[in-house]
Structures are given as C-alpha cells and as structure tokens.
A and B are shown apart, each in its own frame.
Chain A
Amino acid sequence: MSDAVIATPAAPVVAPRRKNRAWEKLKRNRSAMVGGIFVLFFVLLAVLAPVLPIPNPAATDWAKIRLSPNAEHWLGTDEIGRDILSRMIWGARASLMAGVVSVMIALAVGVPLGVLAGYFGGWTDQIIARATDALLAMPFLILAIALAAFLGPSLTNAMIAIGLSAVPVFVRLTRGQVMSVKTEDHVEGARAIGLGHLRIMSRYILPNVFPPILVQATLTIATAIIAEASLSFLGLGQQPPAPSWGSMLATAKNFLSQAPWMAIWPGAAIFLVVMGFNLLGDGLRDALDPKET
C-alpha cells in the first residue's frame, strides 16, 4: 500500500503555536534571558576574535612579563608577556567549540541509540541499557581523563572523550521519552496504516522527544565546558601555546602571589559562560514543560 494514497495522521511536529508559547515564556523568564545574554556575549567574542583590534594571543614580550592590568593591557600580561585579554577572547573559541562539538558527538551517538532502545524494546533495549549503565558507572571526569589519556592529549581528543562520556545521559533520556511517546495515539495510528519503522521514528517520534533533549543539551554544554577546562588544566586538552581558559589557569596557579590577575579572569569567564548555559537550560526547561503555566 502506498503512503501517498492514504491520509496519514498528521505528524505531531511541535506545533508552531506551542513553539511560540514556549518562546514567549522564555522571553518572560528574566534569569533565562540573563543567561542568554552571557552566552551570546561569549559567542560574539569567540566569533569576532579574528577581527577584534587585540594583540596576537601568542605574541610574547619579555619586557612586559606579568604586568598588572593597565591602559595598554586591560587584563594584564602573563608570565611571558602575552596579553591576557587577547588570550581570553581566543580561549573562548576553544571553550565554546569544545562545549558544542562534544555535545553534538553525544547527541549523534546517544539519541539514535536511545530511540532504538525505546522503540524496539526487548533485547535491543536490554543490550543498550546495560552498556549505558556500564558507561554511567564510570564517573564523567575519570572516563574523560582515561579516554583523553589513551587517545593522546589534544583539543580534538578531549572533545571526543567528553562527547563519548556524555553519551549515556542522552541514551537514557531519549529512551525514556520514546517509550512514553510510542504508545500515543498518533504513533499507533501511523503504525496501523503500515508506515515503516524509520518513518515512524523520524516523523512521529523524534519531533516529540526533541524538547527535553534540547534542554539536556544546553545543560550538558555547561558541563562539557567545565570538563574541557578541567582537561586543559590537567594538560590533556588544548595544547600550548594555543590559548584555553583551563591551561591559562594551570599556568596562573604557579604565579599566584606575583600575578593573581592571571588566575582571576579565565576562571571568571568559565564561571560566567557556564552560569549562562545553566540559566538558559533551566529557563528552556520551564518554557518547554507543558505542566508549567
């Protein structure tokens, strides 16, 4: 039977009205908006880094080592005379990229596995659920450190390690959502008219499990940014001389009494961007939750 001749049940893609309502709710949520502004600010800095009138982040100047904040170097200089503001701005690129790319890896692996487990159930579910349990049993940072250690230290490997460590969270979340959505009438209807599994999963199930995944992805970006900074702090992420907030802090720790400003700014930047994503994620959760009015 061809699908074309049958009036298929309307795919319950998140209706525009619901989307608008969520957006209206999000706009009214002041803390979510503050979070959004933090995030936007750092995204703009990261994107505009190449065109901003700032010194080369790798340019050293031995005549200007460990200068406190001044008119020429607003946030001071580091132990080999590099401009801290410039390194902070370029460091934002590494942090945000790590956050977004690792979450994309986690989504690309976790969501399809979660959909398969939730949709088919049975042995498929059992195998995926046990593997997820096993991965969840390994604390996020220990797993990321182990993977980064075995893959070799680099920003790319850190992103892969963080992404893989975050996979189980998305498998579990998607699985649970799919299990509740698959028994709904519109999915039963789609099955009754003989649509294939792939079509049901992509058109009727995925759009409905999307909102909680979006919320989780936003919150996981925050976790991933801290994880990247932690790995870089330990020397397992971004490698010198490329700037990263985590590695800047690792160096700053050795000059705490002589140049405390080296430690203050990179940490404050991590704090603000992570806070931004957390506030935005909390706001999205409230806006997309149908129970919240």
Chain B
Amino acid sequence: MTRYILNRVLVAIPTLLLVTIFVFMLQKLLPGDPILVLAGEDRDPETIAMLREQYRMNDPLIWQYLYWLGDVMRGDLGTSLRTGLPVTELIAQKLPVTIQLAVMSMIFAMVIGIPAGVMSAVKKGTFWDYLANIIALSGLSVPNFWLGIMLILLVSVNLGWLPASGYESPWVDPVRSFQTMLMPSIVLGTALAATLMRHTRSSMLGVLQADYVRTARAKGLREKTVIRRHAFRNALLPVITLSAVMFGELLAGAVLTEQIFTIPGFGKMVVDAVFNRDYAVVQGVVLVTATGFILINLLADILYVLLNPRMRAAI
C-alpha cells in the first residue's frame, strides 16, 4: 500500500513540474515587452535597465524559470500589480469563499444526482428512467451562467425570495450566508448533479447484474434490502471517487457563478485580474487550481484503493 502511494506521488511530481513550466510560459505569450509597459510613458533607459535587472529579464529563459520556481516553492507567487499585495495573500483571502460555494454545490449535486441515478437504474426503461435521463442531459447542456440569470429573474426579481447577489461569511451570519449561497450552489451544482446521476445509473446497472445481487435475491431478501445493502453500497464506490475529481471542476466552474452572483471569491478575482492585466494573479490562480486538482486526483486514487478491498488485495 505504502509503495502504491509512493508510486502515485512520484508520478504526480513531473506533472506538477510541467504545470509550473506551462504557467511560467504563459507570461511569454504576452504581446510586446512587459518591461516597457512597467517603465511607463517616459521609457527612461536607466529605469528600463533597472527593471530588466530586477525582473531578471537579462538572464537566459531557463534561469528565469528556475528563479521563478524557487520563489513559487517558497510560497511567493509574485505581487499583484493592482493591489500591491502578495498574490498568495490574495488567494488565501478569496479561496475560502469559493470552497464554501464548491462544498455547497457538491452537497446539492450528491443529494439530487445519486438518488436520481439509483432510481433511474432500478426503474430502467420506465417513464421515470426517461425523465431522469432527459433532466440529466438538460443539466449537462444548459450554460450555467444562463441558468443563474434565469433563477435570478424568477426567484429574486419576480418572487423576491432570495437575494440576487452579495456574500456573507457563515461565521458572521450563517442564515444570511446560506441564503446568498443557495442559488449559486444550485447553478454550479446542476451539471455535476447530471454527471453524478449518469455515473450512478451506469454503476448501479452494472452492479444489479452481478452474481452477488442475484444470490441476495435468490435468498428471498426484499428488493429494497437488496438495493440498499448489496447493490447501492458497491455502486457508490466509483461515484465517490468521481465526486472527488469533480471538485476541481467545481472550482473552475465557480468563475462564472461568482461573476453572475457577484460573490467575492477566487473565480471573480481571476476575471477581475484579467481585465486589470494583473498577470501575476492570473498565473497564481492557474497554478493553485492545477496543483489542487493534481492533489485531489491523487487523494481520489488513494481513497479508491482504500475503500475497495479487492484493489487493496491486488496491490
């Protein structure tokens, strides 16, 4: 087991390094010389030379990358041009808001998607199966920013039930926080609910044909018990690992949701940074998201083995 985990960690390292190379190279895509932009309109040769030295632009590309990587390893992702604050500090401020949104969306997706998938598999070929499939396909096809706008129109503008925008920390006012995050969570969780429904359905269909389920039925167990105790538990395993992997997708999807509901999170920060040409922040966000994604994948792989006795035995 330890060997398996070590192996997975070792594979993740080159991937992480490649991510850092990619993120570093992003700034090289910028048209023109960034130093000339920094030097302002005077373009004083002395200032330009000083800035080139300060930003190590005179060094070969590989050294520039290694210096940058060294800074990143020490937790220094650069400074935001707009706010003058360290990028790490900005991310640390905004990330909890996005994580709260992602967690609430995940809960919504699981509560809707998993039972719908089980029902669809158990009632395969019936009206309920078709209905669940149509809803799932719609969930995958609807652009979440449009869903958000439509919900604001219906729930906030017409019915006045929930606030259309804003954010409150759950530590300050939990009720208000729940109210402000409810619609965004539904919007962000819809596509994930549809994905979970489809995976649960196909996983359940596979399990329902397995020998042990047939045996359980042959023993005379009630259908409900067969589904709950024998089929559902086994079908849930791949769904749990998928949910872990999808958490990374939720962080990315938050970009649009936060923009629609004006939530001051990680996603809104990256969009604001793009328009303010605050490239260090954009780079920082990509790097942190990708690293998080790799770590979550790693954890999901390990979790899968830990939860699955057959896989444990095979290692």
Question: What residues of chain A have their CB less than 8 Å away from a CB belonging to chain B?
Answer: 130-131, 133-135, 137-143, 145-152, 222, 226, 229-230, 233-236, 249, 252-253, 256-257, 260, 263-264, 266-267, 270-271, 274-275, 278-279, 282
Given contacts A134-B18, A150-B30, A278-B137, 17 further A-B contacts (CB under 8 A): A134-B290, A135-B22, A138-B290, A139-B290, A143-B286, A146-B283, A147-B29, A149-B282, A150-B282, A229-B143, A233-B256, A233-B259, A249-B145, A267-B146, A267-B147, A267-B149, A270-B146
Which listed residue (A130, A253, A263, A275) contacts B14, Cβ 8 A?
A130
A142 touches B270 (CB 8 A): yes
Name the residue among A150, A252, A264, A266 with the largest chain B CB count within 10 angstroms.
A150
CB-CB under 8 A from A149, the residues of chain B are 273-274, 279, 282
CA distance A233 to B18 in the complex (A): 30
CB-CB under 8 A from B31, the residues of chain A are 152
User: Beyond A150-B26, A150-B282, A256-B153, is A141–B140 a contact (Cβ under 8 Å)?
Assistant: no
CA distance A233 to B260 in the complex (A): 10
User: Beyond A131-B18, A267-B143, A274-B141, is A253–B26 a contact (Cβ under 8 Å)?
Assistant: no
Chain B nearest Cβ from A88, distance in angstroms: 13
B249 touches A226 (CB 8 A): no
CB-CB under 8 A from B147, the residues of chain A are 267
CA distance A46 to B253 in the complex (A): 28
Question: What residues of chain B have their CB less than 8 Å away from a CB belonging to chain A?
Answer: 14-16, 18-19, 21-22, 26-27, 29-31, 137-138, 140-143, 145-147, 149-150, 152-153, 157, 248-249, 251-253, 255-256, 259-260, 270-271, 273-275, 279, 282-283, 285-286, 289-291, 293-294, 297
A230 touches B143 (CB 8 A): yes
Residue of B nearest to A130 (CB): B14
B153 touches A141 (CB 8 A): no
CA distance A67 to B147 in the complex (A): 23
CB-CB under 8 A from A130, the residues of chain B are 14-15, 18
Residue of B nearest to A227 (CB): B143
> Main SS of the interface on chain A?
helix
B256 touches A234 (CB 8 A): yes
- Tell me the total A-B contact number using a CB cutoff of 8 A: 133
CB-CB under 8 A from B18, the residues of chain A are 130-131, 133-134
A150 touches B252 (CB 8 A): no
CA distance A256 to B150 in the complex (A): 9
User: Beyond A141-B255, A145-B255, A229-B143, is A150–B27 a contact (Cβ under 8 Å)?
Assistant: yes
Residue of B nearest to A142 (CB): B252
CB-CB under 8 A from A131, the residues of chain B are 18
A275 touches B141 (CB 8 A): yes
B150 touches A267 (CB 8 A): yes
B157 touches A257 (CB 8 A): yes
Name the residue among A130, A226, A229, A270 with the largest chain B CB count within 10 angstroms.
A226
CB-CB under 8 A from A150, the residues of chain B are 26-27, 29-30, 279, 282
CB-CB under 8 A from A234, the residues of chain B are 255-256, 259, 271, 274
User: Beyond A139-B252, A234-B256, A263-B149, is A271–B143 a contact (Cβ under 8 Å)?
Assistant: yes
Chain B nearest Cβ from A234, distance in angstroms: 6
Name the residue among B15, B150, B285 with the largest chain A CB count within 10 angstroms.
B15
A278 touches B282 (CB 8 A): no
Residue of A nearest to B251 (CB): A139
A256 touches B282 (CB 8 A): no
Chain A nearest Cβ from B50, distance in angstroms: 25
CB-CB under 8 A from B249, the residues of chain A are 139
Residue of B nearest to A264 (CB): B150
A146 touches B282 (CB 8 A): yes
A249 touches B26 (CB 8 A): no
CA distance A149 to B294 in the complex (A): 23
Which listed residue (B29, B146, B248) contacts A249, Cβ 8 A?
B146
B15 touches A249 (CB 8 A): no
Top 3 A-B residue pairs of the complex, sorted by shortest distance between their CB atoms: A139-B252, A267-B146, A134-B18
Which listed residue (A145, A236, A278) contacts B140, Cβ 8 A?
A278
